[in-house]
Amino acid sequence: MKNILIINRKGGVGKTLVADELAFALDVKNVPYCFYDLDGQGGTLHEPVEMDNADISIIDTPGSLQGEMGEWVKDADVVIVPMRPSVTDMPATETTIDLVKRNAPDTPIVYVVNGTNRFKATKEFMEFFKEEHKDEPIYCLPQSEAFVQSRLANQSVVAYNPRLPAALATSVLTHGVWKILKLKF
């Protein structure tokens, strides 16, 4: 089974959003998967599930440092680190990245910068982050009301309106994760 771990010790960065969007993408393709919500705050649109014959597991983690995180990382086939484009969030995010690289140095890391926009602060953050992580995949999810509206409708942003920039960026992210895992649907 391929394990997708979505982790950042910083809360409010989009871990649950990414977990749900990956699960929605698998739902559309009728791919059986396991979904684990380790974040006691709730908020996922998907219920925890263990499907028969699942080849993929999606693991949404809490937004705080947990003693088990090192073990979770070791079991992952890909680690997704969502973050906001904010320098104030970087200390917690860098602690998470260090934990991943220390515990699973050969595991691919995917960075998701959630809430990007056209303003100077975001542009400067992206320049800084891309320079620091130039050899690793970085995906951007735009700041968009479509994420809120689609969640209220209990559906993927891609199903909600596939032509919106938020939907297109989400599709690029999910396809990028499938490619890293060498999954073909």
pLDDT for 64 equals: 78
Distances in Å between the alpha carbon of 46 and those of 37, 116, 128, 146, 166? 9, 25, 34, 18, 20
pLDDT for 112 equals: 98
Q: Which secondary structure element, helix H or strand E, spans residue 50, and what is its range?
A: strand 49-50
pLDDT for 155 equals: 96
Domains assigned to the chain: 2-180 (3.40.50.300)
Task: Supply the angle between the helices 165-180 and 145-152 in degrees, to the nearest 10.
Answer: 80
Positions of the chain with pLDDT lower than 50, given as ranges: none
pLDDT for 102 equals: 96
